[in-house]
Amino acid sequence: MVYGMYLSAGGAISQSERADVIANNVANASTPGFRPQAATFRQYLAEELTPRSELASALGGGSGVYGTGTIDRPGRLVQTGRSLDMAIHGQGYFAVEREGRITYTRDGSFTLSGDGEIVTSDGLGRLLGASGPISVPGTDVIISEEGSITGRTVDGGTEEYGTVALWGFRANDLERAGGGFVPRQGAVPTAADGRVRQGSIEQSAVEPVREMSELVEALRVFEANMQFVRIQDSALQRAVNDIARLPG
């Protein structure tokens, strides 16, 4: 029974970790370009937890959270009408240089710095084009589907300011850092075939119905496991206090 209580506790803990992942998804329901995570579970073998025991091997070792994978589903594109908002239709990530390192993101809500460079909405990351950061003379620019940024000069001609570069990664080759992704060790970016849509933003890909039903399931399985702990506890209590009571 004591072993069984630990199995139940382990089950409850994994549901609580799953609820942590769901909570992060729900909190980021308004974050542009966000991809929800899903906790995956696996069974443990008894050998991983306890020394060799035939009974334990027959029972198994309970379950635990195995990993948190990214659900690689694109969010909906929403038109905002803002000239520096960009959304990627298809595969690919924007490359942004933050404090010396390169992070990747689907969040295309860019703005201009005081020197005219295209930066992220918090002002700390510079959008990288094919040849480094991109400077434009104002917000009145046209961004084509291939990412080339052009503007009209005062005398009516057109001028090119650079090209927005898109990079391809598999979703699980990227590690999450707040506000973007960094590639895992050894992951190499490939060219991406997505198209850039100016004036649109990719909304968070969190699906409320899915998250809420997962949350309900996590809660109920958690409670079921805890109920089992209580049941085993009361059985143990009877065994110790009633059955094993010495007469007299």
Partner 1 sequence: MLRALNTAATGLEAQQLNVDVIANNLANVNTTGFKRSRAEFADLLYAQLREPGSAVSQSEGLISPTGIQVGHGVRSVAVSTQFTVGAFTQGNGPLDVSIEDQGQVRGFIQVQLPNGQTAYTRDGTLQVNSEGEIVTSSGYKLFPAITGVPSDYVSLQIGTDGTIQAIQANNPTPVDVGQIELASFINPAGLRAYGSNFYLETEASGSAERGNPGEDQFGVIRSGFLESSNVEAVRELVSLITAQRAYEMNSRVIQTADEMLQTTATLRR
Residues 60, 63, 66, 72, CA torsion sign: positive
* Closest CB 20 distance from partner 1, rounded Å: 5
Select 52 or 248, whichever has its Cβ closest to partner 1: 52
List the x/- string, 97-126, binding to partner 1 by CB under 8 A. Answer: ----------x-x-xxxxxx---xxxx---
Contact 141, 156 (CB under 8 A): no
**Residue selected from 138, 156, 247, 248 as contacting partner 1 according to rule CB under 8 A:** 138
Tell me, what DSSP letter sits at residue 47?
G
* Closest CB 242 distance from partner 1, rounded Å: 18
* Closest CB 215 distance from partner 1, rounded Å: 5
Q: Measured between alpha carbons, how far is 24 from 132 in angstroms, rounded to an integer? A: 33
Residues 77, 83, 85, 88, CA torsion sign: positive
- Number of residues this chain uses to bind partner 1 (CB under 8 A): 73
List the x/- string, 148-187, binding to partner 1 by CB under 8 A. Answer: ------x-----------------x--xxxxx----x---
Contact 184, 175 (CB under 8 A): yes
b/e 83-98 (16+ beta carbons within 10 angstroms → b): bbbbbbeebbbbbbbb
Select 12 or 128, whichever has its Cβ closest to partner 1: 12
Window 219 to 248, contacts with partner 1 (CB under 8 A):
219, 222-223, 226, 229-230, 233
**Residue selected from 3, 10, 29, 56 as contacting partner 1 according to rule CB under 8 A:** 29
Three-class DSSP labels, 209-224: HHHHHHHHHHHHHHHH
Using CB under 8 A as the binding rule, whether residue 19 contacts partner 1 is answered as yes
Tell me, what DSSP letter sits at residue 50?
S
Select 42 or 130, whichever has its Cβ closest to partner 1: 42
